[in-house]
Amino acid sequence: MRHIIGLLCVGSTLFVAACEKGGSADVDRALKGVNVIDETNLNDIMLTVADPNEAVDYFKRASRSEPKRIEFQRGLAKSLVRAKRVSEAVPAWKKVVAHEESTGDDRVDYADALIRNGDWDAAEAELDQIPPTFETYKRYRLEAMVADSNREWKNADSFYETAVGLTTKPSGVLNNWGYSKLTRGDYADAERLFAEAITYDQKLFTAKNNLTLARGAQRKYELPVVPMTQVERAQLLHTLGLAAVKQGDVSIGKGLLREAVDTHPQHFEAAVRSLRALENKVTN
């Protein structure tokens, strides 16, 4: 970080040197232009690679220095979310939305913060204020989540489908959509959506685990054919074993749990506990 800021400062020095012959007015104009460039770069750095709490402190100082500038208010709100300080992020986003230069994206981000804070009704109210012509991936992903929370399945499916079409990286929203189907008991459709999510992100273990749950709910006790490490294989066998037990297929579940213990490259305490608890229950 210090190295990057140092480079920006060096750039400012070079600009000043180049303008010395042009008089003080030229120097002032050059400095003003460089400050804008440096500030924009620093804001971007703070919102991406900087430590989230350091970013919060930076934008707080900037907002106190220039309280009317929305980019500093917005940066503070985003940094608070990154730092998982959601209860502080909500009033910060409310202030951004009240600003005369706020955008539809700001209101979507405010709704996102409200959902993270568990205030679903307020999030829905914010999303309802956004014109239907404002179509973004994040807006429709949040709309789908709100519809899910209200058990409005038809609307949820429509919003999920729209969101998928608005991004080149739909793995997360496909996983959410699949989980929605899983909670409804639509296991076959859930399996399809989880499998599709993995095609976009082969490292998304949540989707692999959910896919295994969906298969177990249909009494499909073979692991799905997806890329997995040895540790993931053991964890998925554990999930499948518990799913089998839940379905009443106890002997199959015990076999899957034993295989999970044998497969894991280290001691698999969770699977061991599950197997012991099951064996003790059967014995008693």
Q: What is the pLDDT of residues 143-177, one digit of tens each?
A: 999 999 999 999 999 999 999 999 999 999 999 99
Whether residue 26 has pLDDT greater than 60: no
Band of residue 20 on the pLDDT scale cut at 50, 70, 90: very low
- Cα–Cα dist 158/174, whole Å: 13
pLDDT in tens, 175-204: 999 999 999 999 999 999 999 999 999 999
The confidence score (pLDDT) of residue 4 equals 41
Band of residue 24 on the pLDDT scale cut at 50, 70, 90: low
Name the pTM for this structure: 0.81
Consecutive H or E run containing 241: helix 230-246
The confidence score (pLDDT) of residue 121 equals 97
User: Which sign does the torsion angle of CA 133, 137, 142, 148 carry?
Assistant: positive
Weakest mean pLDDT among 210-219, 242-251, 271-280: 271-280
What type of residue is 268? Answer: F
**Assigned CATH for 39-102:** 1.25.40
42-44-45-47 Cα dihedral, nearest 10 degrees: 120
Looking at the chain, the domain(s) classified CATH 1.25.40 span 39-102
The confidence score (pLDDT) of residue 49 equals 87
- Helix 205-217 vs helix 171-184: crossing angle, to nearest 10: 20
Q: Cα-flanking dihedrals φ and ψ of residue 257, to 5°?
A: -70, -40
Q: Per the structure block, which two tokens stand in for 264?
A: 């894991």
